[in-house]
Amino acid sequence: MAKLTAPLFSLGARGSLAKTLVYSVWKGVAYARAHVTPANPDTDDQKEVRGIMRDCVDCFHVLGSVAKAAWVVTAGLDSRPLSGFNAMVSNLASEGQEDADAPIAATITDESADDKLDVHCDARKLSDQTVDNSLTLKLHYGTNPRLLSNETAMSWDTDHYEVTTPVDMEGAWTGYGRVWDDTAERYITGHIAIDVPAAA
């Protein structure tokens, strides 16, 4: 890559020249490089990864507001500058577990009341958004989003998974929870903000 002064005898230049050279500016520095046509062998592995990315985009669009907000909280806990979408995709693709049938929770509700933690969620296959009711899910929860030291099993009920657990506390409890898939060994939600009111 060549750095330039007054490229093409002008005050500046951008774009390609006869599909031979490309002129541009990067961080205020004018440069020229050879025109390159990227190779795209479109291998089976590439197609698989591209398909997973398409599924992730489609899935993120159908997430409810609570589910999206949970991934935003998770992104904020990362040292990298991630969006909620980035956090979700990173979670799905972690440890090489790109799987078209990987479950993700699209809807989450916090129905906690009277000193009881009560969280409901669904679990949809990434590929076709169909609900999967055959999973072994747990809710990890705690007051520190980086240390969810408590866990309790979730059970399937008609059209969602749910958990109802007494919270050992005096007065109201505010914390975070994440739904864990025991089979895939990964989270299917971001950090859910949970608000348990004190008993009346």
Higher pLDDT, residue 135 or 114: 135
Q: What are φ and ψ of residue 127, in 5° steps?
A: -70, -45
The answer on 27 and 84 residing in a single domain is no
Which of 191, 161, 177 is closest to 117 using CA atoms? 177
Q: How much is the pLDDT for 146?
A: 93
Higher pLDDT, residue 130 or 16: 130
User: Do 120 and 164 touch, CB atoms closer than 8 A?
Assistant: no
Beta partners for 186?
181
The answer on 25 and 80 residing in a single domain is no
Give the number of domains in the chain: 2
Task: Answer yes or no: is 40 within a domain.
Answer: no
**Continuous segment of H or E residues that includes residue 192:** strand 192-196
> What is the model's pTM?
0.75
22-81 tens-digit pLDDT = 877 877 777 778 777 777 778 888 887 788 788 888 888 889 999 999 999 999 999 889
Which of 112, 122, 120 is closest to 175 using CA atoms? 112
The answer on 112 and 167 residing in a single domain is yes
Query: How far apart are the C-alpha atoms of 133 and 139, rounded to whole Å?
Result: 16
Domain boundaries, position 18: 2-34
Task: Answer yes or no: is 111 within a domain.
Answer: yes
Q: Is 144 exposed, middle or buried (0-12, 13-18, 19+ CB in 10 A)?
A: exposed
The answer on 81 and 30 residing in a single domain is no
Q: Say if residue 4's pLDDT is above 70.
A: no
86-118 tens-digit pLDDT = 999 888 776 545 566 778 899 999 998 888 889
